[in-house]
Copies of this chain bind each other. A is one copy, B any other.
Amino acid sequence: MKTLVVVSHPEINNSQTQQFLLQGAKLQDVIWHHVEGLSEIDVDKEQKLLMSADRIIFQFPLYWYAAPSGLKNWEDKVLTRNFIYGDDNENLGDKEFGIVVSTGMPLKDFQRGGTENITIDEIMAPYHAIADRAKMKILPTFKIPQFQYMDESKQMQLLIDYQRYLTQAYPDSLSNRQAWFEQEFADRIKNFDDTDCTHCDAILNTFAQRREDITQLKSTINLIKQGEDE
């Protein structure tokens, strides 16, 4: 699966959040695409880039309840009506669409009665309307509130969650999470020296065993449920 991350930030080099995410996005089959960094917007090239991806992510800090103007400028140029839905085109149909948004305010502010008095989903509605029009599948929005206040352990958790958001199969079910962690772990230990991780294979085996245990437990639960239905 190929993921395209369309990033918008007017001063990306000064953004701790975006620099942190950039490190996380250095994965196989993930393209980091910074719109304000483009010397010019080549519509044809951008459209081909979108079509080459299976999952398209818009990533930005929240400025006045929307993305920075750079993303809107890119949208207004690249997303021609014909490309999105004209003549029954479905250039982006069945691709997945997600949003990664960072906020300076805590999430509790984004609700009715909260300081912002509007939800994140309401704020994202215009982007989701584009995705709907293009017949894309919408992923839940990935929210990064107040990155600057996160301690190192929270940042590490964020990094993994972010990487899963970019590359893990949808939906975010237990079995998809298990498969993702197992694959990632297996891929990463390949690069280790033997001395780096003597127990790696043992961990991987235990992981696989646990996954099988859970699968068996699920089967048992299903049998019990079937019994109740009869």
State the A residues within 8 Å of B (CB).
10, 63-70, 72-73, 75-76, 79, 116-118, 122-123, 125-127, 129-130, 132-133
Contact = CB atoms under 8 A, between A and B. Distances in A.
A75 B64 contact: yes
Contacts of A116: 129, 133
Per DSSP, chain A at the interface is helix
The copy count of this chain in the complex is 2
Given A122-B125, A125-B118, A125-B123, A130 B65 contact: yes
Given A125-B122, A126-B126, A133-B116, A68 B64 contact: no
A69 B66 contact: no
B76 A69 contact: yes
B125 A65 contact: yes
A107 to B, nearest CB: 15
A83 to B, nearest CB: 12
B123 A65 contact: no
A141 to B, nearest CB: 14
